[in-house]
Amino acid sequence: MSKGRKENFLIGRRIAPSPVRGGMTVAKLIDATFLAYNGRRLGEACRLLTEKMLQDDVVVVMTLTGALTPAGLGMSCLVPLIEHGFVDWIISTGANLYHDMHFALDLAMHQGDAQADDTVLREAGVVRIYDIFFDYDVLLSTDNFIRQVASQPEFQHPMSSAEFHYRLGRYVAERQRALGLSKVSLVAAAYEYGIPVYTSSPGDSSIGMNLALLALEGKEIRLDPLADVNETAALVYWTKVKGMKSAVFVLGGGSPKNFALQTEPQIQEIMGVSENGHDYFLQVTDARPDTGGLSGATPSEAVSWGKIDPRRLADSVVCYLDATVALPLLTAYALERRQARKPRRLYEKRQEALDLLAKAYNERRREKPGA
């Protein structure tokens, strides 16, 4: 091997970190010592997030899967990110939003033992989420709250899940304040900051189960998943028309990940409107790509669908880490390195976004009738 060719490869940062010392900030620790393997990927994720995704001209959609809120990550990480304007809209499993409300209702979650006998727990009236324990009455109390709120007249019509969560968030925020609690609820924070929160599979959670019971009782409340498809695509199109970039921040994977990424095929493939794909992609996942599942699908695979702009593929990072480890570090790094951004309050811009997308689609139909 020639000397010149060897030098072409040996141009990366030399691995020679200083010793870790007490009192180092999270950002300094990551920059100094996360130099290889998934530690390095996390460092790259931190820098992608702070140096590019949190620029003022970037709209960030965050997707949530896995039991993050029961572990306290809603109040510890997601609420601060919202308060600093670092999240513009959200797609979540219904379970994360359901368990988030326990905290606003002052219902206790406890550390437990993942090796406990579940038959004994069931007999004792204790529910387990791996190593989190809580009283079965926590579920019943939260169910009752949801049904009481969703029975109100303002809910008795078809609506997108964003409208439902916004209306629900007002009640959650009021209960949180009435109980004298600090800002512990993601749902309440999203309401206060005008952040649209969508659920890609609204029937697949205890929230959906309670709404199904209300429907059985004759209530008129209906969540419209087709409205969600149009609204989410419209938010992405609005972002691009306004001269901004779109960033996808995925925690986990699953249906919320696809729901965020399918916005671009909805615009390009289904509607035939010209677009290029999302600009930035950051994912924290423990899923493998070789099993063919969406959770582990790589950014380059997403390019083949038009989901990510191929010209921006370099601006994508996948960290193969547990989100309960990565999210606090990403949050601390972002809060240290970036100033707060002004909230965009995209919930209030949904109709404007829908009008823009509908106009583009109708113009395309006039230009290419029957296409």
**Three-state helix/strand/coil letters over 23-73:** CCCHHHHHHHHCCCHHHHHHHHHHHHHHHHHCCCCEEEEEEECCCCHHHCH
Residues linked to residue 111 through DSSP beta bridges, in sequence order: 132
For 87, the enclosing helix (H) or strand (E) is none
- Please say whether the beta carbons of 74 and 179 come within 8 A: no
Task: Bin 56: left if φ > 0, else alpha if -120 < ψ < 50, else beta.
Answer: alpha
Give the other-Cβ count within 10 Å of 196's Cβ. Answer: 27
- The DSSP 8-state label assigned to residue 151 in this structure reads T
Q: How many CB atoms lie within 10 A of CB 154?
A: 12
Relative orientation angle of helices 136-150 and 161-178, to the nearest 10 degrees: 120
Name, in order, each residue with C-beta under 8 angstroms of 49's C-beta and a sequence gap of 6 or more.
249, 282, 330, 333, 334
Coil, helix or strand at residue 284: strand
Pairing status of strand 126-129 against strand 132-135: antiparallel
What CA dihedral angle connects 157, 163, 166 and 172, to 10 degrees? 30
* DSSP-derived 3-state class of residue 283: strand
Any idea which residues carry the catalytic annotation? 307
